[in-house]
Chain A
C-alpha cells in the first residue's frame, strides 16, 4: 500500500484492536530515530444498543490517548482519524484488528438427527463453536417452527449436511429450502453475508448453489457422511474454523464504517496475534506456544518444528463466554484454584454476573483471583482443543456403525511439551494482571510446561496491533516489539514425573551474576522463585531425582543457560502431569503455600496468606 508520507518522515502511528469486550488503542511515536510505544487508551467495545457501532468505542479509546498525550488524533467531527500527522496532530498510519463479533454461535442442519445432523454437530463443536440448535427433518418440529427458530437465533454461520454421496437428494433440499425461507438477519451489521457450509451429498451441489448461492456466502466441502458407515468431519470442521477466524469474528455493527477509517485492511485479531507469535518463534528459533485469552474466544498458536497452527476456541473466553468455561470445566475445577473460603454458588453467581455485564472488571482481590482461576481453565481447555487441530493426519475417516456415533476418535497431537521452549501470553486479562508473576503462573498452570521453558507476555496487550502493523511497516514493528511489547517473564524449570510427598524432586544450581552459587533443593509439591533480572543469563545445572526427567532423560543432569525476566526463575516441583490434591482442604492448603512462596497476590483484607495455611 502507499502512504502519504515516506516512512523515514513518519512520526506517529495509531493501532487499535476492537475486541469483543474492549477496544484498545495503542499510540506509537518515533524518538531519536527509534519507534517506541507511547501510551494506551481503552474503552468498551460499542456493539450493544443503543450504540451498535464499533467506531464509537474506537473513538472513546482514541480520546483517552488524546487526553493523556495532548496529541489530537480524531477529526473535528470525531468521525475519522487525521492522516497524515502534522506537528501535534494526526498520525501517519492507522491500522486495526478486530474480533468484535465475539464467539461463534452456529446452527447445524442435516437429514436425520442421529446421523448426518449429529456428524455436523460434532464438526461444529470440534471447530470450537457453540451450537445453538440442530435442525433435522426428523426433529419433530413443524417447518414453520424451524424457520422461526433459525430467524430468532440469528446464527453466525450454518453448517448443512445430509444424504450420502449418490443417495437421497429430496430431504437435504427440503432443509435448504427452510434455510432459504428463514433468511436469517445478520446480527453483525449490514453488508455481512452469512456463511453457509454445505457438507452433504455431492450430487446436489448445483441445486444448493441455485437455492442458497445468492443470499449466503456459500462454500462446499467433502460430504460429512459419504457413505452411511463413514464419517469425515475434518474438512467441515477445518472449514468452519477457518471461515470463523477469517470472516465472522472480525465483523460487528459499524464494521463498514471502520473500514473507511483505515487504508490498511482490517485483520482478525487471531491473525494479528498469530503473526506476533511467529515473529517470536522466528527470532528465538525455538518451538513456541502462545495464547490470546480474549473475552469471547481463546486463541492458541503453536510453532512446532516450523509447523504453524492456530486455533480459535470460540466458546471459551473471559467475558461473553465465561459461563461456557464454567459449563465445560465445572465449578469444582475452577474452585480448586481459589485459596479462600467461598461458596460455590457465589462463584457461579459472580461468573453469571460477568456474563450479563461482560465489560466490567474485578475491583476486589477475591474477584480478581476467581477470574484468574477461570483463566487457567479457559487456556487449559483451549489448548486441549488446539491439540486436536495440531495433528499430522487430515481428513481422518472414521468408520462408524450406528451404535457408536457418539464416540469421537481423534488423531493425537505431535506437540511434545518437553520440546516447547517458549510460552507466550497475550489478551486483556494476562496483560493487565497486576503482578507479572500472576500471568506467568496462569500460563504455567494451564499449559504445564515441561523441562526448561522461557516465558513471555505481552506488556499492555499490543501483539495484535503489531501483527497488523508488521504487514505494512515491519521495521518499526520489531523495534516496538522488542523494546515495549515483549515482556521477558523469566524461565520455568519443571521436571516431568511424580515423586512421593516430601521427597526431593530436583536440585538446581545457578551461577548467579555476582559469582555466587545459588542452590535450590525442591521437594515434591513445592514451588519457588529465584529473582533474576531481565537481560541476565546464568548457567544452571539441573539434576532431577531418578524417576524424573528435565529434558536429558530420567535422573540425568542438564546444564543449560537460563534467562531472567520480570519474574525470574521459577522451579516447579509440583510434578508433571500436575495434579492438585483431590481433597478440597488439602488442595486449598497447597494453593495457599504456592501463593505465599511466590508472593503471587497481596495480602487479603489485612490477612497474610501464610496465616491462612
Chain B
C-alpha cells in the first residue's frame, strides 16, 4: 500500500540504525503510525468485538467470558503410550485433546506395509485399526473432552473410528465435540500428505461435511489451515491468502453439493501459525476475521452471524525454534503465544523447547503448557478485550495485510480457483520462492536468528531427549497382523466392498466407512480402495 507524502514527518530527523526495518515476512514498516495511516471508514472496519466484521474478535466478551482452549498436540509410539500422555496433560489442566498420528497412518498405510518401515509411531501415534483407536481413548469419556485430530487424506477413516469408539462408550454422536483437520488443499500446497488427486480429495471432504452437518452437529469437519503453509516458508500474507482461498473452495464445493450456506458454515474452523513478528501476527489474525466475514456475507450471502465468524486454533511456529541454545525457545514461544492471544484465538498449542531435535519430553511439554497458563492467569492480558484495537500501527498493518491478501485472492480467481492454481503450481512456487529468500536473508545476516547467526556460543547438543524405541515397530506390525487374522474375514471383505461401491457411485462415504471400521478393516485397506478408485497423486517435484 503506498503512503501519501507528508509535509511533516513525525520522525526521520534523527539518525536511525542502518538496518532494513521489515517484518519477518519482509514487509517494510514505517517508523511511526498516526491517525493519518487509517483512511476513511476505519471505525466501521474496526468495529466492536462480537460484531461484524469481527476485526476485534468473534465474541463480545472474549477471554473475560471464556479463556481459549489450551490444546497441546500429542502423539507417539503406540496408542497406549499416547493415551498416557493424554492423561498426563488432562491431569495438569489441559482442556482439550489434540492427536498427532504417525506418517503411515497419515498417508494411509498399515504398520505392516513396506512403506511404513522406520516410520511407525515415530512422530505420532500409530493407528491401523479400531483396536488401536479404542486403546488411544481408553478411560477418556468422549463427551467430556473435545478432541482435535490432525489428519487429512485418511481423515474420513479416522473420523469413522472416532464415531465407532463413541458408540462403544455409549456416547451419542450429537454429544461429540472436536475438530478434524481434513483440509486437503493445503496438503497439495504445503504439508504434502495425500493419496488421490485434488478433485476426489475434495469430494471425500465434502462427504464428511455433509455427514457431520446431519449426524455430528457439534463437530468441526474441517480446520482450514494456514499453519503448514507458513511452516513451508510462506509469508504472513501468503499464509492468510492461501488459507482463505482454500476456504472459499470448500464453501463453493459444499454449495454445489446442495448444502445451504448457513447449515455448514458455522462449523468451519481455522488454524493459523504464530511466528516471531509480534505485530504482524496480531494484524494477520485480525485481517483474517475481517476478510472471512466480508467474503461470507458478500460473496456467499451467509446471514447467520455464526457463519461469518472466523474461529481459529493457532500454534506457535515450529520452524522458528532453534536447536542452538534451546532454552531460548521458551521465550520465542511466549512472544508468539502472546500474539495469538492478543490476536483473539479460540484455541492454542504452544511448542516445546526441544522440538527441533525430537518429540517433546514430558518436562518440556509441561513448560509449554505453563507458558499458556502464565499468560492466561498472571499476565493480565485477558482482562481487557482486544487491548491492541485502535492502535494506529496495528490497524494500519491489519488494513495492509488484508489488502495484500485480497490481491492474491484476485490472482487465484483469475487462475480459475485454488484447485486450478494448485495444478499449475502457483501457490507452491510462491512459497518456495519466499522460503529461499528468507534463508538467504538469514545467511547474509539481514534477518537475525539469535543463537544461529548472531549471539552464538559453543555448545554441546543435548542428550536428554524422548526416544521412541525402534522395537515398537515390530510390536505394532504384530498387532495389525493379528487383527487381520482374527477378525471375521467375510464381514471385513463385504464392508470394504460397500466402501468401494460408495466411492464409485458418489454416495456419501461416511456410513459405509463407519461400518467398515467396526468390521475391523484397516486404514491401509480403506486407503487402498481410494487408491484404486480415485487414483494416486504424485509429487510434481517443482523446485
Genuine A/B complex: no
- A residues contacting B by CB (< 8 A) are none
- B residues contacting A by CB (< 8 A) are none
